[in-house]
Structure 1
Amino acid sequence: MIKKKYSWSKVIGQNWEAMLRSTSTYKPRLYHCIVRWEAPQEGMMKFNTDGASRGNPGSSAYGFCLRNNHGDLIYAVAENIGITTNMEAELRAILEGIKYCVAKKVEKLIVESDSLLIVKIIKEVWKVPWELADYFDDLKREMTKIEVTIQHIYREGNKLADYLANLAINASEMKTFRSFEQLPSMGRKIMNMEKSQIPALRVRTRKIFQ
């Protein structure tokens, strides 16, 4: 039970007194790194995506936001997609965002997602789950129409997209935002922090890879 609850703990001894002494005095080593959203280079745009699911499968939504090299908002979406899994929600966010960029003739695009699983599948490091094969086929087709760089970002640097996805969980219709002023107050606050390069601290009990 102790090993399950405190997987980081190196418990020494088999009797209760030894285990109690070990867990009460042990302090896990903490790892940390600075995470921040960064604007793309001139001539490029960046769009951050996120999917949210309550239940997995459960009520799900996605959000994405497109910004230019000044960090200004070009377009953002928050949409409820009904009952599905978090993987499908994450994938839908990327697919719908790239479709929008293709339609608007964006030439160079950086896509950031905090789902390492989805990023590795798109990069063909990991296999595509059979239930999502059709979505990936659509995504690969859209990615041939535009110069796309896809990369992983920690959740702390993906806060605006995360906020949009959660905003849509209880929404009955798709929400779109075409300017900073149209965002709700919390969205504007997050965007100001990201645009100002205010960092977030990521702390874990396991080593953080960047």
Structure 2
Amino acid sequence: MKNIGTQDHFQMVQFIEEYRPHNRIRLVLWKCPHEGCFKCNTAGASRVNLGLCSAVFCVRNERGDLVEAGARKLQDTTNIVAKASAIQDGLEYCISNHLVPVVIESDSLIMINIVEEIWDSPWKISVEVRKIKQWSNKGYVQFAHILREGIALADYLANMVFDFAGTIQIHSFQELPTAARKILNSDKSAMPYIMHSTYKVRELD
């Protein structure tokens, strides 16, 4: 092992003492939709990028109460397909059950830009995107991006579905697992989620 010289040791100690991580902390809130409107949070999760995935939607009313949640497994696919499928499932449920106006939220900025026709759709989700556009033309629908912390309930269910076979349909608050109930109640009471990230600042030469 190479010995560290006195000068090198001094520089190392000085670096450690002067080091300050650059942290970014943001508070993320789940907000109830406007009176007479609905909000549908969507989430897609994957164990590996090409393999078993899940697609989930959670519909809630103006009071933040659960109207319906649905989750299903997707075999041998990718995360972006899962997120597109979640938007499609949630939108189809809302339009079919006259839950409009509705705000469809996703933590995938890519998907929001695609359905808003800001970006072109890749071929592997062309079928899902076409169906999303068809369903969105049948009612008043708004698409919105939200940070992952803001869809905690949908994200929880997206990971839970891996432990179940087939699909999951949840029709009421009482049918939610205990952990999911706590998330929903926290959302309704406007408890913020803390988003923490650390990043480097590039030094100028």
| Same fold, TM-score > 0.5, yes or no | yes
Tell me the equivalent position of 1:59. Answer: 52
1:134 maps to which residue?
127
Query: Could you tell me how far apart the structure 2 residues matched to 1:62 and 1:22 are?
Result: 46
Give the whole-Å Cα distance in 2 for the aligned partners of 1:149 and 1:23.
Answer: 49
| Correspondence for 1:99 | 92
The answer to whether 1:159 aligns with 2:147 is no
Task: Give the match for residue 45 of structure 1.
Answer: 38
Is 1:203 aligned to residue 196 of structure 2?
yes
2:79 matches 1:86: yes
1:149 to 139, 142, 145: 142
Q: Is the 8 A contact 1:78 1:167 kept in 2?
A: no
The letter for the 2-side match of 1:30 is N
CA distance in 1, matches of 2:130, 2:13: 53
CA distance in 2 between partners of 1:132 and 1:24 (Å)? 50
After superposition, give the CA deviation of every residue in 1:120-141 in whole Å (9 maximum; x if it has no partner).
Answer: 1212222211111121111111
Superimposed CA distance per residue, residues 159-200 of structure 1 (whole angstroms, 9 cap, x where no aligned partner): 000011111123212111110001111111111111111111
Residue identity opposite 1:205 in structure 2: T
Aligned residues: 193
C-alpha distance 180-129 of structure 1, shift in aligned 2 (>3 A) = same
Is residue 74 from structure 1 mapped to residue 67 from structure 2 by the alignment? yes
Question: 2:194, 2:136 → 1: CA distance?
Answer: 33
Counterparts of 1:24-43 in structure 2 under 5 Å? 25-43=18-36
- Segments of 4+ in structure 1 off by > 3 A? 16-25
1:21, distance to aligned residue in structure 2 (A) = 5.3
Distance 2:104 2:17 in 1: 44
Secondary structure of 1:92's counterpart equals: helix
2:117 is matched with 124
Partners in 1 of 2:195 and 2:90 — Cα distance?
Answer: 27
Shift of residue 26, structure 1, vs aligned partner? 2.2
Identity across the alignment (%): 38
Q: Is 1:52–1:62's contact at 8 Å kept on the other side of the alignment?
A: yes
- RMSD value, Cα: 2.0
Cα distance, 1:22–1:82 mapped onto 2, change above 3 Å: same
Q: Does the 8 Å CA contact 1:62/1:164 hold for their aligned counterparts?
A: no
Alpha carbons of 1:206 and 1:106: their partners in 2 closer, same or farther (altered >3 Å)? same
Contact 2:106 2:144 in 1 (8 A): yes
8 Å CA contact 2:21–2:199 kept in 1: the answer is no
Gaps of 5+ in 2: 1-7, 201-205
Q: How does 1:158-177 map to 2 (within 5 A)?
A: 158-177=151-170
